[in-house]
């Protein structure tokens, strides 16, 4: 069995405790590797390495074009390890091999994108008086701690790390204990790119131990977190105690409104990727469809046929459509939600149960006649379960879609662009997809309303959250 270590200050570090975290393949349930479990000692080492590198100003004082060149080198080396890293990610996460390799290539693209913005981070001059020259400077926070989730473990590293690096921060990444192995392949790319030691450190430990200690560490100046609302609130409390900023992207319960004139093939394609892709383990999953009464039966029939056509299997099989969920605990949770929906009056138009085979597979599930008071309509399931709700009037659809504590994503399906624009303006969500779920890129801002978090990742807007503004006023007398 392959053994992996933490990457701290440019070196592979074994945990002082000798404790190990075993990682399994969700498609079989069999152990595929283990990683040294970071405890307080390793967190201290990582934070100290990051602090030392930041205080040395090796990245802060690096000529901007040299920083951009280094980021492009990271992108180049990441592409070189995409196949190796993607295969490992496929096995530890369960997702499709194509999607896993794409994560590494996406990270490379993200580093290329932000490399092109390093010389666009400009301050400004402010007119005060003829005897005062006043200007602003954008500066990094210092040591930035990133706690990343297991559903897109490499993409989430790239999304925040590229911004942190482009703005001159030193970074510690705490990977999820369910999917820590592929990050070590990314660390190989960092070594090959000759990133100075200490600027990027990658550790793996349990969230309630290493994660909690990291975000509360006295020498951490900035925190990035993607995960559940409950954990996010704990992290925000920890950051508030130290009065440091945090970027948080939390849960979602995204609804797509389907108007009578919608192209139902667009809805089906969005369902394939938006709720059944990655087994529905997506923060912005299209977990609710709010469908006009006149077309609901037709759409449900089509969704059932789609569900029947999906090939269930391991992600390493390129012909697989529906991959496993991440763990036995997650499978039990997802199946429990589906069961509760049926018990509360929803109809299982298709699925609703686990698949009787090795691994952690859940049937693609379409729950019809769901109402907003049901648990499946209100809580994030994080599995391949789609709830169908009915409406008659346009305003009613908006009310149903917005009737949630979350506000990460939403969507609308219609051929009427005026209606699409009106609907987008009334939906309470950080991103609205029109006729295609996930109609965005690394250049488009991403973040939530309400309890889905705040600040923005991706795009130019993301950089603002990794920088602080210094004002300088000079007397010319």
The pLDDT assigned to 362 comes to 98
Residues 108, 206: one domain?
yes
Residues 374, 322: one domain?
yes
Tell me the per-residue pLDDT of 428-438, one tens digit each, with 9 for 90 and over.
999 999 999 99
| pLDDT mean across residues, the chain | 98
Residues 259, 239: one domain?
no
Give DSSP secondary structure letters for 213-258: HHHT-TT--EEEEES-HHHHHHHHHHHHHHT--EEEE-----EEEE
Is position 170 within any domain? yes
The pLDDT assigned to 190 comes to 98
Residues with a catalytic annotation lie at: 249, 283
Residues 368, 437: one domain?
yes
The pLDDT assigned to 463 comes to 98
Helix (H, G, I), strand (E, B) or coil at 296: helix
The pLDDT assigned to 1 comes to 84
Given a cut of 90, whether residue 255 has pLDDT beyond it is yes
Is position 402 within any domain? yes
Is position 293 within any domain? yes
Pairing of strands 409-413, 255-258: parallel
The continuous run of DSSP H or E covering 53 comes out as helix 40-55
Given a cut of 90, whether residue 18 has pLDDT beyond it is yes
Neighbours of 459 (CB within 10 A): 19
Tell me the per-residue pLDDT of 298-353, one tens digit each, with 9 for 90 and over.
999 999 999 999 999 999 999 999 999 999 999 999 999 999 999 999 999 999 99
Which domain CATH number covers 53? 3.40.605.10
Instruction: Write out the two tokens for 452.
Output: 């889905």
Residues 13, 137: one domain?
yes
Give the C-alpha separation, 58 to 69, whole Å: 15
Give the C-alpha separation, 241 to 221, whole Å: 12
Which domain CATH number covers 298? 3.40.309.10
Residues 67, 147: one domain?
yes
Average pLDDT for 188-200: 98
Tell me the per-residue pLDDT of 204-254, one tens digit each, with 9 for 90 and over.
999 999 999 999 999 999 999 999 999 999 999 999 999 999 999 999 999
Percent of the chain topping pLDDT 90: 99
Domain ranges, residue 96: 2-250+453-475
Is position 217 within any domain? yes
How many domains are contained in the chain? 2
Residues 245, 294: one domain?
no
pTM over 0.85: yes
Average pLDDT for 412-420: 98
Residues 322, 296: one domain?
yes
Helix (H, G, I), strand (E, B) or coil at 457: strand
Taking Cα atoms as reference points, which of 442, 79, 126, 424 lies closest to residue 259?
424
Give the C-alpha separation, 34 to 32, whole Å: 7
Is position 446 within any domain? no
Residues 212, 293: one domain?
no
Is position 77 within any domain? yes
The pLDDT assigned to 183 comes to 98
The pLDDT assigned to 393 comes to 97
Give me the torsion for CA of 315, 317, 321, 327, rounded to 10°.
Answer: -30
Is position 115 within any domain? yes
Residues 281, 153: one domain?
no
The continuous run of DSSP H or E covering 347 comes out as strand 347-350
Under a CB-based contact definition with an 8 Å cutoff, are residues 449 and 429 in contact?
yes
Give the C-alpha separation, 18 to 215, whole Å: 23
Handedness of CA 166, 167, 172, 174 (dihedral sign): negative
Is position 70 within any domain? yes
Instruction: Write out the two tokens for 439.
Output: 């109609």
Rama region for 435: left / alpha / beta (φ>0; ψ in -120 to 50; rest):
left
| DSSP secondary structure code for residue 197 in this structure | T
Give the C-alpha separation, 223 to 216, whole Å: 9
Given a cut of 90, whether residue 474 has pLDDT beyond it is yes
Residues 237, 352: one domain?
no
Residues 240, 281: one domain?
no
Give the C-alpha separation, 167 to 264, whole Å: 44
Tell me the per-residue pLDDT of 61-79, one tens digit each, with 9 for 90 and over.
999 999 999 999 999 999 9
């Amino acid at each position: 069995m392959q053994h992996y270590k933490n990457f701290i200050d440019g070196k592979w570090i074994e945990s002082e405790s000798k404790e190990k975290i075993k990682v399994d393949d969700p498609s079989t349930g069999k152990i595929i590797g283990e990683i040294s479990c970071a405890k307080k000692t390793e967190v201290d080492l990582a934070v100290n390495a990051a602090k030392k590198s930041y205080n040395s100003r090796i990245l802060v004082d690096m000529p901007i074009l040299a920083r951009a060149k280094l980021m492009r080198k990271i992108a180049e080396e990441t592409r070189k390890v995409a196949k190796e890293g993607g295969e490992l990610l496929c096995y530890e996460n369960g997702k499709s091999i194509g999607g896993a390799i794409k994560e590494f290539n996406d990270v490379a693209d993200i580093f290329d994108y932000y490399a092109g913005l390093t010389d666009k981070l400009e301050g400004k001059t402010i007119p005060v008086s003829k005897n005062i020259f006043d200007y602003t400077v954008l500066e990094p926070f210092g040591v930035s701690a990133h706690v990343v989730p297991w559903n897109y473990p490499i993409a989430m590293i790239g999304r925040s790390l590229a911004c942190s690096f482009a703005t001159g921060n030193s970074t510690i990444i705490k990977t999820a204990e369910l999917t820590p192995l592929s990050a070590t392949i990314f660390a190989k790319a960092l070594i090959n790119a000759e990133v100075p030691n200490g600027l990027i450190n990658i550790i793996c430990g349990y969230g309630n131990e290493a994660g909690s200690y990291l975000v509360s560490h006295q020498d951490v100046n900035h925190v990035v977190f993607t995960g559940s609302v409950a954990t996010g609130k704990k992290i925000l409390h920890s950051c508030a105690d130290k009065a440091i900023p945090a970027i948080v992207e939390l849960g979602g319960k995204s609804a797509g409104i389907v108007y009578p004139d919608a192209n139902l093939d667009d809805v089906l394609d969005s369902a394939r990727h938006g709720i059944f892709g990655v087994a529905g383990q997506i923060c912005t999953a299209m977990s609710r469809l709010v469908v006009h009464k006149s077309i609901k039966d037709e759409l449900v029939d089509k969704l059932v046929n789609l569900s029947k056509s999906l090939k269930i299997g391991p992600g390493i099989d390129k012909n697989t459509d529906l991959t496993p969920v991440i763990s036995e605990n997650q499978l039990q949770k997802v199946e429990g939600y589906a069961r509760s929906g049926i018990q509360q009056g929803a109809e299982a138009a298709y699925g609703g149960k686990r698949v009787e085979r090795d691994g952690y597979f859940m049937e693609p599930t379409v729950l019809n006649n769901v109402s907003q008071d049901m648990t499946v309509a209100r809580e994030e399931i994080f599995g391949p379960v789609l709830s169908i709700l009915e409406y008659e009037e346009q305003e009613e659809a908006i009310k149903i879609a917005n009737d949630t504590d979350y506000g990460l994503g939403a969507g609308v399906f219609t051929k009427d662009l005026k209606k699409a624009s009106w609907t987008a303006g009334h939906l309470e969500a950080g991103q609205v997809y029109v006729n295609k779920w996930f109609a965005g890129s690394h250049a488009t801002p991403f973040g939530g309303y309400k309890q889905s978090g705040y600040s923005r990742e991706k795009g130019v807007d993301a950089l603002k959250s990794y920088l602080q503004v210094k004002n300088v006023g000079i007397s010319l007398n």
